[in-house]
């Protein structure tokens, strides 16, 4: 499938700021299942550092603007050819040992409700292979947290989302990571794009899902929000321990002012 992406992030400041600096993770990962045909990240007026690849295999770039500004706009556009790998991440060069993804952050720290969810899902299937247990956990999370935009916010933790009983892709991912850790499966947060499909299932174009490490298979993606594994409708950007760690843009406004943020993401499949 050929997917085109147009992703604009615009920051408007009430009063001019002294500058801005960002660490961007906005280039698709190099792995089987996705091939970049063309890709640009543009930030008018900014100094762009060279793109480098970190130990997790993500493409990282430093972008800075060191002069007074009233707004800044990041435009990501490109075309990617995708194929379905049933969620399995292959051909991805990375150096981080999977066991390093066993640690929790404040956002993925399990609470009792999450522990009970894991026990309910897995207790009867202790002998099941890891891949099967991973599927069971993803299904359990999907069931426990119906998709409901607005139920949570950008800083909601896995535990808080469980208490709320609903959430969006970020919450599903955090809770699934917490569940996986309890089941002794390394897990991480993946940020990317999702092509909106017409089958009525919930979706977010700027999307997130979890990857769980399955011995013998490697990293496998699980999208609890859409009750599936990532397929040719997905574009993988990068990963981290949680939403903050994996954020496509981590930035800081110098001489901070109130900002208005406007994000639009359009993903389209080209007609074959």
Partner 1 sequence: MTDAYFNEMYDNGNLRTPYRMLESWYQNMPAEFRAGKQAEAEDLFRRYGITFAVYGEGGDPDRLIPFDMFPRVFTAAEWRRLERGIKQRARALNAFLSDVYERGEIIRAGRIPADLVYRNDAYEIAVAGFRPPLGVFSHIVGIDLVRTGADQFYVLEDNCRTPSGVSYMLENREVMMRMFPHLFQENRVAPVDGYARLLKRTLASVAPEKCDRAPNVVLLTPGHFNSAYYEHSFLADLMGIELVEGQDLFVEGDFCWMRTTEGPKKVDVIYRRIDDAFLDPLCFRPDSALGVPGLMNVYRSGGVTICSAPGAGVADDKAIYTYVPEMVRFYLGEEPLLQNVPTWQCARSDDLKYVQEHLSELVVKEVHGSGGYGMLVGPKSDRATIEAFSARLAENPSNYIAQPTLALSTCPTFVEAGIAPRHVDLRPYCLVGRDVDLVPGALTRVALTEGSLVVNSSQGGGVKDTWVIAEE
- List residues binding partner 1 (CB under 8 A): 21-23, 47-50, 52, 54-56, 60-62, 64, 66, 94-97, 99-103, 241, 244, 250-252
Nearer to partner 1 among residue 99 and residue 112 (C-beta): 99
- Considering the complex, what minimum distance in angstroms separates the CB of residue 171 from partner 1? 20
Nearer to partner 1 among residue 46 and residue 159 (C-beta): 46
- Considering the complex, what minimum distance in angstroms separates the CB of residue 11 from partner 1? 15
Full 3-state SS string of the chain = CEEEEEEEEEEEEEEEECEEEEEEEEECCCECCEEEEEEEEECCCCEECCCEECCCCCEEEEEEECCCEEEEEEEEEEEEEECCCCCECCCCCCCCCHHHHHCCCCCCCCCHHHHHHHHHHHHHHCCCCHHHHHHHHHHHHHHHCCECCCCCCCCCCHHHHHHHCCECHHHHHHHHHHHHHHCCCCEEEEEEEECCCCCCCCCCCEEEEEEEEECCCEEEEEECCCCECCCCCEEEEEEECCCCCCCCEEEEEECCCCEEEEEEEEEEECCC
- Considering the complex, what minimum distance in angstroms separates the CB of residue 61 from partner 1? 8
Nearer to partner 1 among residue 62 and residue 79 (C-beta): 62
- Considering the complex, what minimum distance in angstroms separates the CB of residue 127 from partner 1? 23
- Considering the complex, what minimum distance in angstroms separates the CB of residue 99 from partner 1? 4
Nearer to partner 1 among residue 95 and residue 112 (C-beta): 95
Nearer to partner 1 among residue 167 and residue 186 (C-beta): 186
């Amino acid at each position: 499938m050929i997917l085109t992406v147009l992703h604009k992030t615009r920051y408007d400041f009430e009063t001019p700021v002294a500058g801005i600096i960002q660490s961007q993770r906005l280039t698709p990962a190099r792995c089987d299942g996705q091939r970049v045909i063309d890709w640009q990240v543009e930030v008018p007026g900014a100094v762009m550092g060279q793109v480098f690849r970190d130990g997790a295999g993500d493409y990282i770039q430093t972008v800075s603007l060191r002069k007074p500004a009233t707004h800044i706009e990041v435009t990501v556009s490109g075309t990617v050819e995708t194929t379905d790998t049933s969620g399995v991440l292959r051909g991805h060069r990375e150096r981080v040992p999977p066991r390093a993804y066993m640690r929790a952050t404040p956002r993925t720290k399990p609470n009792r409700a999450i522990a009970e969810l894991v026990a309910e899902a897995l207790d009867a299937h202790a002998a099941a292979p890891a891949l099967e247990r991973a599927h069971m956990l993803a299904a359990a999370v999907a069931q426990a947290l119906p998709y409901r935009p607005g139920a949570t916010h950008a800083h909601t933790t896995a535990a808080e989302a469980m208490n709320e009983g609903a959430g969006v892709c970020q919450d599903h991912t955090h809770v699934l990571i917490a569940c996986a850790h309890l089941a002794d499966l390394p897990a991480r947060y993946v940020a990317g794009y999702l092509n909106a499909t017409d089958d009525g299932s919930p979706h977010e174009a700027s999307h997130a899902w979890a990857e769980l490490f399955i011995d013998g298979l490697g990293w496998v993606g699980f999208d609890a929000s859409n009750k599936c594994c990532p397929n040719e409708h997905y574009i993988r950007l990068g990963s981290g321990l949680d939403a903050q760690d994996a954020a496509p843009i981590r930035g800081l406004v110098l001489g901070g002012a109130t900002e208005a943020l406007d994000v639009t993401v359009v993903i389209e499949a080209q007609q074959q």
